[in-house]
């Protein structure tokens, strides 16, 4: 039973994916014994028989030099696998994580990063034939020890940042917090004032929801000023 794509290959609506007795996953359809894609996305086959397509619309596709916020999902002998809110799994090698060489035969990598840990990382290499390689060996990168994490649609990230960083700069200045925006739709907010930290998270969700509205930066600033006057933050 022939398959006409490689794993995670980009396909378009109407592309023929396979012929034969395969099971239909998501975003595909069958005509007689032929299976086609119904969306633009990444084709994949699971368990040798289930064919699906992961839609690309609204999905984060890594690019070199992107800052991402990821979650450790597996620990290997000399590397970690990282969920970066993408169809692709991030790959973090020991040499891209630790400042000094270590003997991996004598240490447990879980001592440094364990499953469930959150990291701020940068994409150093990626193409469609391999998963993105990450590093945390630069300023402001590394394991997240504090703060609040909020997740939005990756396509709304530019609106949260604003033109020339106007929205993020305003939020940081008015609320006295630090905001790290991952291009993968995860945003880390840190402040000594927990009320302001959580208020910033709330505002970021409002920005995501109302991204299409003009004058949004001024409106968000007015909400902050009002909250300060009322003693909410």
CA atoms within 13 A on the CB side of 223: 16
Contacts of 204 (CB under 8 A, 6+ apart): 150, 152, 160, 171, 187, 189
148 pLDDT above the threshold of 90: yes
**Residue 61 resides in a domain:** no
Q: Are residues 162 and 209 in the same domain?
A: yes
- pLDDT attached to residue 221: 96
**Residue 50 resides in a domain:** yes
Give per-residue pLDDT as tens, 87-127.
Answer: 899 999 999 999 888 888 788 899 999 999 999 999 999 98
129 pLDDT above the threshold of 80: no
Q: What is the CATH number of the domain that holds 19?
A: 2.40.50.100
186's torsion region: left (phi>0), alpha (psi -120 to 50) or beta? beta
Q: Are residues 152 and 135 in the same domain?
A: no
| Domain hosting residue 131, numbered range | 67-143
Give per-residue pLDDT as tens, 12-47.
Answer: 999 999 999 999 999 999 999 999 999 999 999 999
**Torsion sign over Cα 141, 144, 149, 154:** positive
- pLDDT attached to residue 104: 80
- Mean pLDDT throughout 191-196? 96
Q: Are residues 93 and 32 in the same domain?
A: no
**Residue 44 resides in a domain:** yes
Count of the separate structural domains present in the chain = 3
Other beta carbons within 10 Å of 176: 14
């Amino acid at each position: 039973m022939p398959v006409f794509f490689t794993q995670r290959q980009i396909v378009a609506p109407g592309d023929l994916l396979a012929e034969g007795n395969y099971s239909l996953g998501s975003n595909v359809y069958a005509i007689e014994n032929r299976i086609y894609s119904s969306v633009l996305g990444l084709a994949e086959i699971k368990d040798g028989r289930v064919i699906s397509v992961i839609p690309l619309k609204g999905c984060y596709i890594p690019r070199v030099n992107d800052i991402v916020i990821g979650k450790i999902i597996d620990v290997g002998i000399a590397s970690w696998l990282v969920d970066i809110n993408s169809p692709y799994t991030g790959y973090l090698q020991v040499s891209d994580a630790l400042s000094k060489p270590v003997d991996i035969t004598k240490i447990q990598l879980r001592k440094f990063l364990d499953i469930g840990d959150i990291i701020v990382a940068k994409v150093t290499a990626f193409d469609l034939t391999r998963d993105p390689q990450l590093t945390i060996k630069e300023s402001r990168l590394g394991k997240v020890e504090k703060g609040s994490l909020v997740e939005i649609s990756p396509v709304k990230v530019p609106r949260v940042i604003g033109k020339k960083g106007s929205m993020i700069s305003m939020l940081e200045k008015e609320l006295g917090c630090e905001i790290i925006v991952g291009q993968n739709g995860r945003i880390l907010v840190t402040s000594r004032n927990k009320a302001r930290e959580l208020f910033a998270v709330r505002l970021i969700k409002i920005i995501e929801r109302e991204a299409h509205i003009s004058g949004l930066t001024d409106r968000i600033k007015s909400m902050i000023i009002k909250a300060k006057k009322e003693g909410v933050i």
